[in-house]
């Protein structure tokens, strides 16, 4: 953690800058290279030398489903477990998540596997509650510019030494993403990960469009780690491995991949499994991880 005085020094924002604390040019050690800051999330080392893999079910639908997937992604070598207990859903009739019960299941999955938990918080009033269970608080694409939420999450992360996963919005500008990260940093958050989740330019039949070159652009502009989300950016499991390769070629520091069980039913507890089509079956995830270890030495 930065000392108060260091924080104050850093806070001397040059005139006319929209963001500075997260800018590559603000830190001497990052100015002339493409390195990223290193930090630790519950014992997991995040650094420029490692490709971080965050994986798990899009939504926590049941204890059994989540524990099974958690075990599989751990065995395959993932660094963190991600699952949603509160889901941002376009339709009010879609499954909205198990809420606190889902958070408890995620905490149990962490106990079982040792994997740190990444989970989304959508409401500033729920930051304290979600924070009690999460190691990394996710801010979803639709909330990238929810400024009161960014402030609450930034403050909570700073006080409790939590990470923040900031997803890029549906049609983001570089300046907007970095200003969103700046809101977090301005509250003292340091362990910020940016995640490119595709832009919503589509033909109508595809979900989103992956934007790996934006990852590169972000990497050049900030020293924060930037990862790619091949599941949400494509909406199609058949494209997940190749899209992941594109993200890594664009210098992503890691990936966020939805994983389903090999025999995942399309409906659990009467609810359609969230993002079923874009989740990589666990055995395919495992093969892809093996390939990454061999080719990229992760
Ligand atoms: C998610 O991560 O499950 C999700 C809903 O993603 P996004 O906020 O990128 O749409
Ligand atoms: Mn999802």
Tell me how far apart the 2 most distant CA atoms of the chain are, in Å. Answer: 56
Question: How far is residue 117 from each of residues 71, 134, 190, measured CA to CA in Å?
Answer: 13, 5, 17
Give the Cα separation of 244 and 256 in Å (integer). Answer: 9
Answer whether residue 1 shows pLDDT above 90: no
pLDDT of residue 206: 83
Which residue lies with its CA nearest to atom 10 of ligand 1?
Answer: 141
pLDDT of residue 202: 79
Give the Cα separation of 254 and 54 in Å (integer). Answer: 8
* 18 burial level (CB within 10 Å; 0-12, 13-18, 19+): exposed
Instruction: Using the structure block, give the residue that is written with the tokens 């992760």.
Output: 298
Q: Which residues contact 222 (CB under 8 A, 6 or more apart)?
A: 22, 23, 24, 178, 181, 194
For the segment 140-193, what is each residue's pLDDT rounded down to a tens digit? 999 999 999 999 999 999 999 999 999 999 999 999 999 999 999 999 999 999
| Ligand 1 mean position, distance from CA 167 (Å) | 8
66: Cα within 13 Å, side-chain hemisphere? 29
Atom of ligand 1 minimally distant from the CA of 197: 9
pLDDT of residue 10: 60
- Mean pLDDT throughout 4-28? 82
Task: Report phi then psi at 279, rounded to 5.
Answer: -85, 130
Nearest 10 degrees: CA dihedral of 72, 247, 239, 267?
40
Atom of ligand 1 minimally distant from the CA of 140: 8
Give the Cα separation of 200 and 190 in Å (integer). Answer: 29
| Ligand 1 mean position, distance from CA 232 (Å) | 6
**Which pairing describes strands 39-41 and 44-46: parallel, antiparallel, or unpaired?**
antiparallel
Atom of ligand 1 minimally distant from the CA of 142: 8
For the segment 226-259, what is each residue's pLDDT rounded down to a tens digit? 999 999 999 999 999 999 999 999 999 999 999 9
Tokens for 43, please give them. 């014992």
Give the Cα separation of 261 and 156 in Å (integer). Answer: 33
- Mean pLDDT throughout 200-208? 85
């Amino acid at each position: 953690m930065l000392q108060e005085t260091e924080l104050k020094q850093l806070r001397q924002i040059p005139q006319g800058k929209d963001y500075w604390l997260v800018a590559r040019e603000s830190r001497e050690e990052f100015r002339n290279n493409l390195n990223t800051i290193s930090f630790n999330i519950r014992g997991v080392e995040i650094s420029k030398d490692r490709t971080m893999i965050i994986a798990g079910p899009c939504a926590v639908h049941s204890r059994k489903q989540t524990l099974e997937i958690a075990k599989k992604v751990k065995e395959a070598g993932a660094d963190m477990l991600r699952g949603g207990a509160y889901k941002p859903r376009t339709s009010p009739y879609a499954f909205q998540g198990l809420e606190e019960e889902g958070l408890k299941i995620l905490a149990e999955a962490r106990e079982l596997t040792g994997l740190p938990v990444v989970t989304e918080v959508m409401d500033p009033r729920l930051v304290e509650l979600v924070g009690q269970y999460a190691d990394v608080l996710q801010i979803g694409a639709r909330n990238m510019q929810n400024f009161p939420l960014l402030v609450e999450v930034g403050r909570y992360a700073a006080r409790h030494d939590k990470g923040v996963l900031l997803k890029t919005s549906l049609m983001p500008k570089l300046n907007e993403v970095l200003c969103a990260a700046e809101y977090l940093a301005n509250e003292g958050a340091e362990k910020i990960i940016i995640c490119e989740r595709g832009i919503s330019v589509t033909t109508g039949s595809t979900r989103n469009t992956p934007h790996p070159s934006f990852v590169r652009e972000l990497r050049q502009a900030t020293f924060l780690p930037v990862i790619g989300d091949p599941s949400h950016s494509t909406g199609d499991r058949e494209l997940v491995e190749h899209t992941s390769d594109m993200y890594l070629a664009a210098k992503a520091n890691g990936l966020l991949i939805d994983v389903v069980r090999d025999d995942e039913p399309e409906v659990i507890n009467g609810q359609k499994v969230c993002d079923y089509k874009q989740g990589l079956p666990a055995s395919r995830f495992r093969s892809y991880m093996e390939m990454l270890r061999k080719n990229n030495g992760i």
